[in-house]
Amino acid sequence: MLRKYPSSKVTAIDYSDVSVAKAAAYNTGMIQKGRCKVQQGDVSNLNMNEQYDLATAFETIYFWPGLEKCFSEVNKALKPGGIFMIVNESDGTDKASLQFESIIDGMKCHTVEEIEGALKEAGFSKVKSDHHESKPWITVIAKK
Protein backbone atom coordinates (compact mmCIF):
# COMPACT_ATOMS: atom_id res chain seq x y z
CA MET A 1 0.00 0.00 0.00
CA LEU A 2 2.85 2.36 0.77
CA ARG A 3 4.25 1.88 -2.75
CA LYS A 4 0.91 2.00 -4.53
CA TYR A 5 -0.24 5.13 -2.68
CA PRO A 6 2.79 7.42 -2.30
CA SER A 7 1.01 9.98 -0.13
CA SER A 8 -0.42 7.41 2.27
CA LYS A 9 0.57 6.81 5.86
CA VAL A 10 0.16 3.36 7.38
CA THR A 11 -0.15 2.16 10.95
CA ALA A 12 0.38 -1.58 11.36
CA ILE A 13 -0.82 -3.23 14.55
CA ASP A 14 -0.24 -6.81 15.63
CA TYR A 15 -0.60 -8.74 18.85
CA SER A 16 2.55 -10.80 18.24
CA ASP A 17 5.99 -9.50 19.26
CA VAL A 18 7.53 -11.54 16.45
CA SER A 19 5.19 -10.09 13.80
CA VAL A 20 5.75 -6.55 15.05
CA ALA A 21 9.54 -7.00 14.90
CA LYS A 22 9.40 -8.48 11.38
CA ALA A 23 7.05 -5.77 10.09
CA ALA A 24 9.23 -3.03 11.61
CA ALA A 25 12.36 -4.52 10.04
CA TYR A 26 10.69 -4.86 6.63
CA ASN A 27 9.39 -1.27 6.73
CA THR A 28 12.44 0.45 8.24
CA GLY A 29 12.78 2.92 5.37
CA MET A 30 9.13 3.98 5.47
CA ILE A 31 9.25 4.24 9.26
CA GLN A 32 12.25 6.58 8.98
CA LYS A 33 10.37 8.69 6.42
CA GLY A 34 7.43 9.01 8.83
CA ARG A 35 5.04 7.15 6.52
CA CYS A 36 4.71 3.99 8.58
CA LYS A 37 4.24 3.09 12.23
CA VAL A 38 4.39 -0.47 13.51
CA GLN A 39 3.12 -1.16 17.00
CA GLN A 40 1.99 -3.96 19.21
CA GLY A 41 -1.67 -3.87 20.11
CA ASP A 42 -4.81 -5.78 20.88
CA VAL A 43 -7.70 -5.33 18.47
CA SER A 44 -10.20 -5.80 21.30
CA ASN A 45 -8.85 -2.61 22.92
CA LEU A 46 -7.27 -0.38 20.26
CA ASN A 47 -7.41 3.01 22.04
CA MET A 48 -6.45 4.82 18.82
CA ASN A 49 -5.80 8.57 18.98
CA GLU A 50 -6.16 8.96 15.23
CA GLN A 51 -8.86 7.99 12.79
CA TYR A 52 -8.20 6.26 9.50
CA ASP A 53 -9.73 6.03 6.02
CA LEU A 54 -9.06 2.30 5.71
CA ALA A 55 -8.49 -0.66 8.01
CA THR A 56 -7.58 -4.11 6.75
CA ALA A 57 -7.45 -7.56 8.31
CA PHE A 58 -5.70 -10.18 6.21
CA GLU A 59 -5.85 -13.72 7.56
CA THR A 60 -6.15 -12.55 11.18
CA ILE A 61 -9.74 -12.45 12.44
CA TYR A 62 -9.47 -16.20 13.10
CA PHE A 63 -7.72 -15.23 16.34
CA TRP A 64 -9.72 -12.16 17.37
CA PRO A 65 -11.46 -12.54 20.75
CA GLY A 66 -15.11 -11.77 19.98
CA LEU A 67 -15.78 -10.39 16.52
CA GLU A 68 -18.43 -7.84 17.47
CA LYS A 69 -16.25 -6.19 20.15
CA CYS A 70 -13.18 -6.18 17.91
CA PHE A 71 -15.14 -4.88 14.93
CA SER A 72 -16.53 -2.10 17.18
CA GLU A 73 -12.94 -1.09 18.02
CA VAL A 74 -12.07 -0.97 14.31
CA ASN A 75 -15.21 1.07 13.67
CA LYS A 76 -14.13 3.64 16.29
CA ALA A 77 -10.72 3.92 14.58
CA LEU A 78 -12.28 4.78 11.20
CA LYS A 79 -13.28 8.20 9.92
CA PRO A 80 -16.91 8.66 8.85
CA GLY A 81 -17.28 6.80 5.56
CA GLY A 82 -14.14 4.75 6.31
CA ILE A 83 -13.74 1.25 4.94
CA PHE A 84 -12.84 -1.99 6.70
CA MET A 85 -11.69 -4.85 4.45
CA ILE A 86 -11.37 -8.43 5.70
CA VAL A 87 -9.66 -11.07 3.56
CA ASN A 88 -9.62 -14.76 4.58
CA GLU A 89 -8.62 -17.95 2.83
CA SER A 90 -11.37 -19.72 4.77
CA ASP A 91 -15.10 -19.21 4.46
CA GLY A 92 -15.64 -21.04 7.74
CA THR A 93 -16.93 -24.20 6.07
CA ASP A 94 -13.91 -25.67 4.28
CA LYS A 95 -12.53 -28.89 5.73
CA ALA A 96 -8.85 -27.92 5.56
CA SER A 97 -9.30 -24.77 7.65
CA LEU A 98 -11.63 -26.44 10.10
CA GLN A 99 -8.94 -29.07 10.60
CA PHE A 100 -6.48 -26.30 11.57
CA GLU A 101 -9.12 -24.85 13.86
CA SER A 102 -9.18 -28.14 15.77
CA ILE A 103 -5.41 -28.17 16.35
CA ILE A 104 -4.51 -24.46 16.77
CA ASP A 105 -5.52 -23.10 20.13
CA GLY A 106 -7.78 -20.05 19.89
CA MET A 107 -8.42 -20.31 16.15
CA LYS A 108 -12.00 -19.90 14.89
CA CYS A 109 -12.97 -19.93 11.22
CA HIS A 110 -15.99 -17.69 10.66
CA THR A 111 -18.62 -17.94 7.97
CA VAL A 112 -19.46 -14.96 5.78
CA GLU A 113 -22.79 -14.72 7.57
CA GLU A 114 -21.11 -14.57 11.00
CA ILE A 115 -18.70 -11.88 9.81
CA GLU A 116 -21.43 -9.81 8.15
CA GLY A 117 -23.67 -10.07 11.22
CA ALA A 118 -20.90 -9.02 13.61
CA LEU A 119 -19.99 -6.06 11.36
CA LYS A 120 -23.59 -4.83 11.32
CA GLU A 121 -23.88 -5.27 15.10
CA ALA A 122 -20.64 -3.29 15.46
CA GLY A 123 -22.22 -0.33 13.67
CA PHE A 124 -21.06 -0.64 10.08
CA SER A 125 -23.66 0.76 7.69
CA LYS A 126 -22.96 -1.22 4.53
CA VAL A 127 -21.45 -4.68 4.21
CA LYS A 128 -20.57 -6.46 0.97
CA SER A 129 -19.01 -9.90 0.53
CA ASP A 130 -17.29 -11.67 -2.31
CA HIS A 131 -16.61 -15.41 -2.39
CA HIS A 132 -14.15 -17.00 -4.83
CA GLU A 133 -16.01 -19.19 -7.31
CA SER A 134 -14.01 -22.37 -6.66
CA LYS A 135 -12.04 -21.80 -3.44
CA PRO A 136 -13.09 -20.92 0.11
CA TRP A 137 -11.49 -17.45 -0.19
CA ILE A 138 -13.60 -14.51 0.93
CA THR A 139 -13.41 -10.75 1.02
CA VAL A 140 -15.79 -8.74 3.17
CA ILE A 141 -15.91 -4.94 2.86
CA ALA A 142 -17.73 -2.81 5.42
CA LYS A 143 -18.37 0.93 5.37
CA LYS A 144 -18.71 3.02 8.49
| Interatomic CA distance for residues 42 and 17, integer angstroms | 12
Q: Return the number of other C-beta atoms located less than 10 Å from residue 77's C-beta.
A: 21
Give the dihedral of Cα atoms 42, 60, 87, 120; nearest 10 deg.
-50
Structural domains in the chain, CATH included, are 1-41 (no CATH), 43-143 (3.40.50.150)
The model's confidence at residue 47, banded by pLDDT at 50, 70 and 90, is confident
pLDDT of amino acid 65 = 92
pTM assigned to the model:
0.93
Share of the chain above pLDDT 70, in %: 100
